[in-house]
């Protein structure tokens, strides 16, 4: 009960999510009227995964104050890990089927060689690289979905926080990490098929008989469930004493350190936890998208993640969800060519071309005039208004109280 | 009129020459050897060619050329030789060799074409070389020598040696001497002469010297147990080492007949397939053949029946090649020559390596100056003011597109570049000031949000550029005097455009230092950076100073854009390609210090080129490792190479 009192948004969020899931199910082609096409159900499922990673971003940025421009790298890594198993298992089924009519039954090493040349023929190789050692095992790859991004985040975070890289420096460093990772994966000899990436992920191995209509709604349910769990975890993390400490770190790191808290430990925990959450989101997202390639990990993707959270409203979990859902769905609407062109007489505005300009400018406007984002609208409803901060800061950090605020 | 006069002069000249050699013409020489020439046999033709080449007659070269190109014909009626040109399908016009004059048109049936075979043509070619090497025109002599350098033959050696002594031009003489040595290495029969020639190339850098030495040193890996004693062995090898894999050794042994080849797995598999009887092969059911062990068992059973070649399941390639000697053997039989060549080639490789190192340094320097150019604007806005401008890359792009637009209006490339630089500065200065006024000054207390807001500007500007200029790359052409490269020797060269960028980077450094240290604006900027309140109470307007400083940083980014656009294609993504590297340059160098930025750019540029040198085919890997290195570097020096100390450091 205490937990619910601290998170008044939680019941509302759960209710909205459950209703949304039911509505989509009853409108889907598999279990309902068919008003929503399968591809749109997939889009909605992917959007839920993006909302999940946005919650992770909100935890690390909105609550802990670490503007990480690298969380989409963890998202992509999660996708790669599950993609390896999907691709291996499916190729194995195809290869075994094709060999069943051979006069002599194939040996295990012949099957493995055939799978290798199927998967890596596109990058001019046929041997399995070391990173594919566990690709045959579903549970091993599921473990790697958590372990690989988790360990990367742990090592990177430990190095960065230990040497007290903070603020914009940390942002640039995380961006560099993302860039390095995507450049590495772009190479053909990285072992993950270079810029071809992994493809055909929407076909679950052994599920050829089941139509994509059903698979899409299953993934939608899984994404909704994962989002719910993530929201619960995040709400739990930020509501207790732990939450107070990380908010303290966001507002004045030095003071929290002087109070005797291990700032580095708290930051490292949040950074690693959110990296794992992001990876789980990616592992659910890419089977719905069907393909993953290094371009998905490019630094720009992580910046968009920050954009969603900022537009939705930092420092509140439902804000991140709203931002991710709103911006990504509106983006899909405008870039998908469905939006009607506006004819100005002398020039026709094509939204495919102008949407990014609009997004960029509205993002600037939100940053300038509505730092609380869309989530701030709920404060107007609930009547919670923050004090008007003006004048010079009292404390050493940019986020500290201002003179006039203190006089009130 | 004039033409007739010239013709008359020529006629007179020819007559005078004829008078000089009146006792003997080329035709006489040809007639003396008419029999062998007509017979056209490689064994007997040599005296005829020698007589022509040694006759000293000016027309001899023409005769040889005509003969070689099958343009020499014999008139049946009197047996005289002429150069003939086809007039129509039946008739040919004949020209006298000595005078060059036409002697009338003749039916083809009255003529006999001389058709030297390829062997004879080669002999004629060798004889002709002598003429080309002694040609009065130095350019033709040079061309002939270079042709010999490209693909020389043994027969060129003698005429080349003869022509050296008479060579008047010292440059061409040196060239001839070098060529003579190259030919000696490859074709001379005398071992001592070859060794001397090889030693003459010690420390040389030219590609030709390396090309002449490398064939001398070609080696072949062979099975060495029954190698003759005369073989010129480079070194002994063991199979299974780094230089010779076990399977390669196995293949060599089989090729040498030292080992009975075992049937390969594929061959065994197809043999099994061919002998399936009632679902069984060699007593093993087909369904059980899904392991290698079962297959071997079935195959051995078949081999025992004698229907397939024998196979020993315990055979392994590794065991078969263990203890067997293999050797690398030179194709060149003479040990003295190969030893000398090895020594000289390693000295050449050392010299080449040194020069490559120098070339790499130049490459690194030019990459460093590009990074410096891209980062210097950022060093002002980020380093001095502490403002993260993610749209910095887009200012670079704006500068490059300004250059492109100017080139569309002003067609002269030199003038357009000179116009484009101040214009690009003006455009991005205005854009920078506008951005500072409208966005950044509201966010001075919120650096992370500056990052995000300027990122919004960045994606808007990038898309805007795409909408205006399209997605395809636009060329920004450099003026003609920047084309080409300054090559110091065969290994070291640097293009002029890179030198120009380097100079521009130096100029920028100078301008930056001048503005910061010597002008009022620089003084005020430094004051506002250190303590805005104190500066304001001294009568400085911090708003104005911030605005101008930001404009200056953006303007410099615009000029950098023109420079970068000159050597890279201008696209809307031009800026985003450099933004991360630029930030790293500033962070690695140390924020707030221009010398730090310079050092950072140098380090990153050299590092990237250095890593590329280890793995030249893969620039992506080089960038990856460089970024990883930088991340690690920042762990140890979080404040960069040059860290500010004291109050200016801000904390």
CB-nearest to B452 from A172, A177, A310 is A310
Partners of B325 in the beta sheet? B238
Residues 105-124 of chain A with CB under 8 A from chain B are 105-109
* Best residue of A167, A364, A393 to probe chain B, by most B CBs closer than 10 Å: A364
Residue B353, both tokens: 């390596």
A-proximal residues of B, 48-87, CB under 8 Å: none
A183: closest CA of chain B, how far (Å): 6
A1 close contact with B: CB closer than 8 A? no
In the prediction, which pLDDT does B349 show? 85
Taking contacts as CB-CB distances below 8 angstroms, the residues of chain A near B272 are: 104
The reply to whether B565 and B465 lie within a common domain is: yes
Q: How many residues does chain A have?
A: 408
> Is some CB atom of chain B closer than 8 A to the CB atom of A393?
yes
B451 and B542 belong to one structural domain: yes
Instruction: Look at A357 and B467 and tell me if their CB atoms are within 8 Å.
Output: yes
Enumerate the residues of chain B whose CB falls inside 8 A of the CB of residue A310: 449, 452
Integer Cα distance of B582 and A387 in angstroms: 39
Q: Are residue B207 and residue B235 in the same domain, yes or no?
A: no
B362 with B411, same domain: the answer is yes
In a domain, B349, yes or no: no
Interface test with B, best of A66, A95, A100, A107 (most B CBs within 10 A): A107
Pick among B270, B446, B451, B640 to test the A interface (most A CBs inside 10 A): B451
Q: Which of B99, B122, B145 is the last residue of a domain?
A: B122
Radius of gyration for chain B, computed over Cα atoms and rounded to the nearest angstrom: 39
B584 to chain A: closest CA residue: A172
The 10s digit of each residue's pLDDT in A92-138 is 998 888 888 877 888 888 888 888 888 888 887 778 888 888 888 89
Tell me whether A160 touches chain B (CB under 8 Å): yes
Tell me the shortest Cα–Cα distance from B370 to chain A, in angstroms.
Answer: 19
Residue B10: its pLDDT value, please? 52
Domain count, chain B: 4
B307 touches chain A (CB under 8 A): no
One domain for residues B419 and B483: yes
Burial tier of B561 (Cβ tally within 10 Å: 0-12, 13-18, 19+): buried
Chain A residues with beta carbon closer than 8 angstroms to that of B290: 105-108
Q: Are residues B388 and B280 in the same domain?
A: no
Using CA coordinates, name the residue in chain B closest to A305.
Answer: B452
Residue of B nearest to A107 (CA): B290
Sorted by sequence, the CB contacts under 8 Å of residue B239 that are 6+ apart come out as B245, B246, B248, B249, B250, B321, B322, B324, B326
* Radius of gyration of chain A, Cα coordinates, nearest whole angstrom: 23
d(CA B380, CA A74): 33
What are the C-alpha distances in Å from B71 to residues A44, A168, B95, B128, B398?
83, 81, 11, 16, 65
Judge whether A169 is closer than 8 Å to chain B, CB to CB. Answer: yes
Q: Supply the pLDDT for residue A402.
A: 55
Enter the DSSP assignment of B313: T
Backbone angles phi, psi at B648, to 5 degrees: -60, -25
Mark whether B142 and B22 lie in a shared domain: no
For residues B213 and B224, membership in a common domain is answered with no
B254 found inside a domain: yes
Give the sign of the dihedral formed by CA B542, CA B543, CA B548, CA B551: positive
The pLDDT of residue A52 is 95
Please identify every stretch of chain A with a pLDDT value under 70, giving residue numbers as ranges: 1, 383-408
Instruction: Tell if the CB–CB gap between A168 and B448 is shorter than 8 Å.
Output: yes
Same domain for B153 and B92, yes or no, is no
Q: Which residues, listed in sequence order, are joined to residue B113 by a DSSP beta bridge?
A: B73
Place of tokens 């994966």: A185
Taking the Cβ of residue A158 and every Cβ of chain B, the question of whether any pair is shorter than 8 Å is answered with no
Per CB-CB distance under 8 Å, the chain B contacts of A189 are 618
- Torsion angle defined by CA atoms of residues A76, A78, A84 and A89, in that order, rounded to the nearest 10 degrees: -130
Are B17 and B104 contained in the same domain? yes
Mark yes or no for CB contact B620/A184 under 8 Å. Answer: yes
Domain containing residue B56: 2-122
Report the alpha-carbon angle B125-B126-B131, nearest 5: 85
State how far the Cα of B383 lies from the Cα of B377, in Å rounded to an integer: 9
Tell me which residues of chain B, numbers 569 to 628, contact chain A at a CB-CB cutoff of 8 Å: 576, 580, 583-584, 587, 618, 620-621, 623-624, 627-628
Do B513 and B584 fall within a single domain? yes
Tens digit of each residue's pLDDT (9 = 90 or more) over A363-393: 888 888 887 888 888 877 776 666 555 555 5
CATH code for position B391: 1.10.3470
Q: Nearest Cβ partner of B273 from A103, A306, A359?
A: A103
Sign of CA dihedral A392, A395, A397, A402: negative
What is the pLDDT, as a whole number, of residue B38?
A: 79
Say if A367 is an interface residue toward chain B (CB within 8 Å).
Answer: yes
In-domain check, residue B412: yes
The answer to pTM > 0.80 is no
Q: Phi and psi dihedrals of B472, rounded to 5? A: -75, 155
ipTM: 0.82
Cα(first)–Cα(last) distance of chain A, in Å?
34
Last residue of a domain, one of B122, B147, B169: B122
Is residue B338 one of the residues assigned to a domain? no
CB contact under 8 A, B295 and A162: no
CB atoms within 10 A of CB B165: 8
Q: Residue B486: its pLDDT value, please? A: 80
Of residues A156, A197, A163, the one with CA closest to residue A178: A156
Contacts of B532 in chain A (CB under 8 A): none
Interface contact B463-A361, CB threshold 8 A? no
| B393/B61 Cα distance (integer angstroms) | 66
User: Which residues in chain A are contacts of B464 at CB distance < 8 A?
Assistant: 357
Q: Which of B136, B133, B325 is nearest to B236 (CA)?
A: B325
Which of B164, B191, B218 delimits the end of a domain? Answer: B218
User: Is residue B129 one of the residues assigned to a domain?
Assistant: no
Tell whether B239 and B212 lie within a shared domain: no
- Chain A residue numbers touching B436 (CB-CB < 8 A): none
Give A68-100 as a DSSP string: -S-HHHHHHHHHHHHHHHHHHHHHHHHHHHHHT
Q: Which of A107, A167, A303 sits opposite B455 (nearest CB)?
A: A303
Q: How far apart are CA A307 and CA B451, in angstroms?
A: 11
d(Cα A171, Cα A70) in Å, to the nearest integer?
8
Q: Tell me if B337 is assigned to some domain.
A: no
Residue B272: which of A104, A176, A354 has the nearest Cβ?
A104
Taking chain B (651 residues) in consecutive chunks of 10 residues, what is each chunk's mean pLDDT? 54 49 71 79 79 75 80 81 80 81 80 80 77 79 79 76 80 82 79 80 73 79 78 79 81 80 81 79 80 83 80 77 82 81 85 86 88 86 79 92 92 88 94 92 80 88 90 84 79 83 89 89 86 86 89 91 86 82 83 84 88 76 83 79 58 42
Interface subset of B 429-448, CB within 8 angstroms of A: 439, 442-443, 445-448
Residue in B274, B446, B455, B581 to test binding to A, most A beta-carbons within 10 Å: B455
**Partner A, chain B 460-489, Cβ-Cβ below 8 Å:** 460-464, 466-467
- Identify which of B491, B254, B473 has the alpha carbon closest to the alpha carbon of residue B362: B491
How much of chain B exceeds pLDDT 70, in percent? 95
- What secondary structure letter does DSSP report for B260? P
């Amino acid at each position: 009960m205490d937990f619910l009192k601290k998170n008044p948004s939680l019941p509302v969020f759960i209710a909205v999510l459950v209703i949304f899931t039911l509505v989509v199910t009853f409108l889907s082609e598999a279990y309902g009227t068919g008003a929503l096409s399968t591809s749109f159900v997939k889009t909605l499922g992917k959007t839920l995964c993006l909302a999940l990673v946005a919650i992770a971003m909100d935890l690390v940025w909105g609550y802990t104050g670490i503007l990480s421009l690298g969380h989409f790298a963890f998202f992509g890594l999660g996708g790669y890990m599950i993609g390896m198993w999907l691709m291996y298992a499916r190729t194995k089924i195809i290869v075994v089927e094709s060999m069943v009519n051979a006069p002599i039954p194939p040996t295990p090493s012949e099957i493995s060689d055939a799978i290798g040349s199927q998967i890596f023929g596109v990058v001019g190789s046929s041997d399995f690289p070391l990173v594919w050692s566990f690709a045959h095992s579903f549970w091993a790859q599921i473990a790697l979905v958590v372990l690989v991004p988790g360990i990367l985040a742990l090592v990177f975070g430990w190095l960065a926080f230990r040497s007290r890289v903070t603020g914009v420096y940390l942002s640039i460093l995380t961006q560099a990490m993302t860039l390095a990772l995507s450049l590495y994966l772009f190479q053909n000899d990285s072992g993950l098929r270079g810029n071809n990436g992994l493809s055909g992920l929407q076909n679950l191995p052994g599920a050829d008989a089941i139509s994509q209509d059903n698979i899409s709604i299953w993934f939608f349910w899984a994404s909704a469930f994962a989002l719910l769990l993530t929201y619960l975890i995040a709400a739990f993390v930020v509501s207790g004493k732990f939450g107070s400490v990380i908010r303290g770190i966001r507002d004045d790191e030095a003071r929290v350190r002087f109070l005797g808290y291990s700032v580095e430990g708290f930051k490292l925990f949040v950074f690693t936890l959110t990296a794992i959450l992001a990876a789980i989101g990616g592992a659910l997202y890419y089977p719905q998208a069907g393909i993953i390639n290094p371009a998905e990990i490019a630094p720009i993707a992580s910046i968009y993640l920050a954009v969603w959270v900022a537009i939705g409203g930092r420092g509140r979990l439902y804000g991140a969800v709203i931002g991710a859902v709103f911006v990504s769905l509106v983006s899909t609407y405008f870039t998908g060519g469905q939006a009607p062109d506006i004819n100005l007489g002398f020039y026709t505005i094509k939204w495919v071309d102008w949407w990014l300009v609009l997004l960029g400018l509205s993002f600037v406007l939100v940053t300038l005039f509505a730092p609380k984002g869309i989530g701030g609208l709920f404060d107007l409803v609930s009547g919670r208004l923050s004090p008007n901060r003006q004048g010079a800061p009292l404390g050493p950090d940019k986020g500290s109280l201002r003179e006039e605020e203190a006089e009130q | 009129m004039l033409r007739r006069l010239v013709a008359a002069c020529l006629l007179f000249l020819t007559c005078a020459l004829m008078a000089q050699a009146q006792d003997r013409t080329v035709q006489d020489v040809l007639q003396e050897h008419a029999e062998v020439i007509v017979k056209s046999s490689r064994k007997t033709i040599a005296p005829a060619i020698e007589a022509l080449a040694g006759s000293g007659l000016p027309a001899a070269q023409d005769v040889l050329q005509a003969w070689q190109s099958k343009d020499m014909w014999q008139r049946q009626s009197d047996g005289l030789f002429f150069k003939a040109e086809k007039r129509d399908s039946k008739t040919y016009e004949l020209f006298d060799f000595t005078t060059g004059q036409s002697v009338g048109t003749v039916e083809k049936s009255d003529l006999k074409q001389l058709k030297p075979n390829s062997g004879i043509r080669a002999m004629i070619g060798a004889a002709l070389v002598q003429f080309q090497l002694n040609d009065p025109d130095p350019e033709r002599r040079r061309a002939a020598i270079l042709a010999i350098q490209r693909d020389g033959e043994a027969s060129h050696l003698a005429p080349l040696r003869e022509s050296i002594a008479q060579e008047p031009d010292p440059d061409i003489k040196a060239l001839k001497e070098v060529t003579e040595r190259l030919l000696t290495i490859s074709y001379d029969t005398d071992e001592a002469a070859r060794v001397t020639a090889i030693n003459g190339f010690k420390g040389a850098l030219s590609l030709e010297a390396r090309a002449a030495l490398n064939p001398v040193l070609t080696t072949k890996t062979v099975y060495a147990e029954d190698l003759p004693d005369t073989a010129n062995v480079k070194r002994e090898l063991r199979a299974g080492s780094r230089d010779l894999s076990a399977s390669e050794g196995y293949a060599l042994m089989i090729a040498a007949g030292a080992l009975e080849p075992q049937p390969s797995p594929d061959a065994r598999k197809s043999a099994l397939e061919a002998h399936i009887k009632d679902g069984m092969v060699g007593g093993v059911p087909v369904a059980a053949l899904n392991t290698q062990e079962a297959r071997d068992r079935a195959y051995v059973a078949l081999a025992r029946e004698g229907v397939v070649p024998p196979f020993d399941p315990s055979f392994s390639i590794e065991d078969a090649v263990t203890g067997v000697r293999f050797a690398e053997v030179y194709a060149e039989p003479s040990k003295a020559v190969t030893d000398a060549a090895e020594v000289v080639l390693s000295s050449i490789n050392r010299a080449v390596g040194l020069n490559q190192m120098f070339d790499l340094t130049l490459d690194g320097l030019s990459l460093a100056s590009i990074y410096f150019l891209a980062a210097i604007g950022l060093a002002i806005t980020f380093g001095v003011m502490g403002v993260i401008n993610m749209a910095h890359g887009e200012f670079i792009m704006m500068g490059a597109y300004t250059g492109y637009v100017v080139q569309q209006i002003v067609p002269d490339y030199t003038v357009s570049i000179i116009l484009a630089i101040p214009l690009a500065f003006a455009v991005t200065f205005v854009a920078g000031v506008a951005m500072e006024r409208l966005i950044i000054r509201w966010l001075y207390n919120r650096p992370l949000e500056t990052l995000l807001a300027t990122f919004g500007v960045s994606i808007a500007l990038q898309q805007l550029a795409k909408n205006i200029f399209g997605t395809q790359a636009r060329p920004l052409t450099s003026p003609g005097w920047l084309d080409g490269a300054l090559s110091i020797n065969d290994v070291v060269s640097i293009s002029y455009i890179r030198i120009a960028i380097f100079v521009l980077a130096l100029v920028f450094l100078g301008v930056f230092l001048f503005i910061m240290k010597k002008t009022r604006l620089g003084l005020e900027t430094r004051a506002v950076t250190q303590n805005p309140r104190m500066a304001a109470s001294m009568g400085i307007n911090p708003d104005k100073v911030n605005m101008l400083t930001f404009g200056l940083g953006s303007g410099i980014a615009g000029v950098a854009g023109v420079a970068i656009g000159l050597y890279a294609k201008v696209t809307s993504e031009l800026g985003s390609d450099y933004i991360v590297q630029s930030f790293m340059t500033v962070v690695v160098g140390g924020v707030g210090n221009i010398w730090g930025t310079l050092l950072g750019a140098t380090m990153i540029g050299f590092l990237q080129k250095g890593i590329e040198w280890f793995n030249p085919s893969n620039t992506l890997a080089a960038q990856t490792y460089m970024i990883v290195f930088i991340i690690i570097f920042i762990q140890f020096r979080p404040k960069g190479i040059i860290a500010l100390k004291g109050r200016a450091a801000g904390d």
